[in-house]
Amino acid sequence: MPSNPVLPGFHPDPSICRVGETFYLTTSSFEYVPGLPLYRSENLVDWEPIGHALTRESQLDTRDARTSGGIFAPTIREHDGTFYLTSTNTSGGGHFVVTAEDPAGEWSDPVSVDAPGIDPDLFFEGDTCYFTYFTTDDDRRIEQAEIDPGTGELGEQYTVWTGHEDPHAEAPHLYERAGSYYLVVAEGGTHTGHSVMVGRSDDPTGPFDPHPQNPILTHRDDFYRDVHAAGHADFVTDADGNWWLVCLGIRPRGGFPGWHHLGRETFLAPVSWDEGWPVVESGAIPPEIDADTLPGDPARADADPDPVEHTDTDFSEGRSHEFLYRRTPDRDRYAFTDDGLVLRGGPETLDETGTTFLARRQTNFDCRIRADLVFDPDPGEEAGLALVMDEQHHYEVGVVGGGDGDTGGGAEGGSTALVRVTVGDATDVLARESVGERATLGVDATAENYEFRVDGEVVAEARSKYLSTEVAGGFTGVTVGPYAVADGGPADATPARVERFVYEPAE
């Protein structure tokens, strides 16, 4: 049977809509570029990456975004043949709306919405559109206003929810069913107290009466579950009228209370109805989903593994959708050629913003990652394979030029592969190995450990715990990919060529 999460790895704050028999889903992207990843599915469990909504600098520039800044929780909706996506750029610009006729195509430049807070939602009813959001000032609440989504102009703003158990209510979404209106919010924070609350009203503007069984979904009362922090839900119906929700959750490792390093992931749960109220069985995310209950082809839903978890590329067809830049890149540093990905490093190391670094999400606890590198560096130059949580928490296996002394250089005129770990203010080089102009750099991951390989040999290992949210903080997860550094800047840098990059779940 298909298992949860349906989108593993760094896929937080999911939002979903359906057109015909096709579902579309997006998640937060924070400082990563392109922003707002988009996925398509016919059955709610097999998700095909189709692109991003924010691909141009006129839409998004995160050069100055703080760690876990940038683009927060989105909402995606379709109305009269147009797709609408609203979100918040917390590093500049605030709320915005972008539109597209085809979600896999180009999206518009953002239309700004002048309202406080985060987590905006759009709800269409006839010719009226409602904009609902969470304010983040001292008087925290859920507010709402009518909006012209084409201009971002708001009508009168008013409060619709001040919290059922917790005034820190966020992630509002509004729905209609059988003449009643439902406000779904998250309460209890975004970690172990996370929960899904529901209110009901006869009018989309409220007042909303709380569900008698709130919260309808939470894992806060059982810390020994495999999934914690369940919440931030968005509802959708399938073509047969069945209701579902997607939400975020985390999968801690290392025993209670544990740590999580893959990030906040996207989970799926069926929703039923009882006396006009939504119900999630057992109030929890199911570990597995019965394929026979899913829309689309049940046989496809049983297929394993999910292709979104695999990458095997020589980069000859350019940057595929699963690859990201950490903040807005200097694109002149990246060349996708028939001979591989050519990187030209700048002076920024992985300790700094602006690093030359192309990565994909780590989506499996147990996985195998390889990069075939062709690189003949001068002193002060480096390239390799990095695992990054943020600028203070990252591991890398890289090749450095000769004569770099304590930073890892080998004999004069030679190159050295090194394994370096950075945790907070501490940095340590765990291994050094002489290499030639060609080297295969690798990482073998388990839930609790990373093994680093150079030309097939294990040379060092490090704990995954120190790349976790519990250590590093933040809202993202580990990303992995090739990087390059050059003291003299990209114009004079020796090119580092990645002939092949492989990411695959371990058997």
What pLDDT shows up at residue 403?
59
Instruction: Calculate Rg over the CA atoms of the chain.
Output: 23
Identify the residue whose tokens are 């507010």. 143
Backbone φ and ψ for 308, nearest 5 degrees, come out as -65, -15
pLDDT tens for 424-467 read 999 999 999 999 999 999 999 999 999 999 999 999 999 999 99
At residue 150 the predicted structure's pLDDT band, cuts being 50, 70 and 90, is: very high
Q: What average pLDDT does range 196-212 have in this prediction?
A: 97
Q: Where in the chain is the domain with CATH 2.60.120.200?
A: 310-505
Residues of the chain with CATH 2.115.10.20: 15-308
Overall average pLDDT of the 300-313 stretch:
66
Contact 27, 74 (CB under 8 A): yes
Supply the residues annotated as catalytic.
Answer: 13, 170
Q: What is the pLDDT of residue 97?
A: 98
**CATH class of segment(s) 310-505:** mainly beta
Q: What is the pLDDT of residue 18?
A: 98
Q: How confident is the model at residue 191 (pLDDT cuts 50, 70, 90)?
A: confident
Question: By three-state DSSP, how is residue 7 classified?
Answer: strand
40 pLDDT higher than 60: yes
**What confidence category does residue 152 fall into, taking pLDDT thresholds of 50, 70 and 90?**
very high
Residue-wise pLDDT tens digits, 370-428: 999 999 999 999 999 999 999 999 999 999 998 554 444 444 457 999 999 999 999 99
Long-range contacts, stretch 491-495, CB < 8 angstroms, 24+ apart: 491/344, 493/344, 493/345, 493/346, 493/381, 494/375, 494/376, 494/377, 494/378, 494/381, 494/401, 495/342, 495/343, 495/344, 495/375
Q: What is the mean pLDDT of the chain?
A: 94
User: Does 367 score more than 60 pLDDT?
Assistant: yes
Q: pLDDT category, 302, cuts 50, 70, 90? A: low
| Confidence band, pLDDT 50/70/90 cuts, at residue 319 | very high
The domain made up of 15-308 has a fold known as: Tachylectin-2; Chain A (2.115.10)
- On the 0-12 / 13-18 / 19+ scale of CB atoms within 10 A, 136 is middle
Report residue 137's pLDDT band, with 50, 70 and 90 as the boundaries: confident
pLDDT at 410: 45
Q: What is the pLDDT of residue 205?
A: 97
Residue 255 pLDDT: 75
Please state the separation of Cα 353 from the chain's center in Å: 19
Check whether 308 has a pLDDT greater than 80: no
- How many alpha carbons fall within 13 Å on the CB side of residue 225? 20
The predicted pLDDT at position 413 comes to 53
Closest CA to 269 of 253, 293, 304: 293
* pLDDT grade for 483, boundaries at 50, 70 and 90: very high
| Res 73 pLDDT > 80 | yes
This prediction's pTM: 0.96
For 330-344, how does the pLDDT look when each residue is reduced to its tens digit (9 = 90+)? Answer: 999 999 999 999 999
User: How high is the pLDDT of residue 411?
Assistant: 42
Residue 300: predicted pLDDT = 60
